Amino acid sequence: MIDQTFEALLDSLLKAKATLEDVEAEKKMVEEAILEKLREMKLTGTNCNGYNIQKVYRSSYTGVQLSTARELGCTEKIEKIKREKLRKLENNGVKIKGVKRIQYLLVKEEKK
């Protein structure tokens, strides 16, 4: 595969991404169908073919205002790492213990 042109490799990448999107969409539809089936049967979970299927709820607190959390006694003062300052130091050649470098491919469609 490495001997292919960039164009051929990019085409393969875009096809693979489209396939993943299709599979993810199909997965979401099937999950919705299973949830609907559980609702119809008035169940929160069941066993099927050796799998335990459960309807699970998770709360997201991103919409909670800081003032609300403060009123409820759910805040804390914490020390935080300033990543932007670390990035500037690293860009200026400072070696920082604990930094892990990750390499990945970024492919964006050109603006026309």
Q: Residue 108: its pLDDT value, please?
A: 79
Q: Residue 14: its pLDDT value, please?
A: 94
Calpha distance 85→90 (Å, rounded): 9
Calpha distance 4→87 (Å, rounded): 35
| 112 residues of the chain, pLDDT tens digit each | 778 898 999 999 999 999 999 999 999 999 999 999 999 999 999 999 999 999 998 999 999 999 999 999 999 999 999 999 999 999 999 999 999 989 887 877 888 7
End-to-end C-alpha distance for the chain, whole angstroms: 30
Q: Residue 112: its pLDDT value, please?
A: 78
Q: Residue 101: its pLDDT value, please?
A: 87
108: helix, strand or coil: coil
CB atoms inside a 10 Å sphere around CB 18: 10
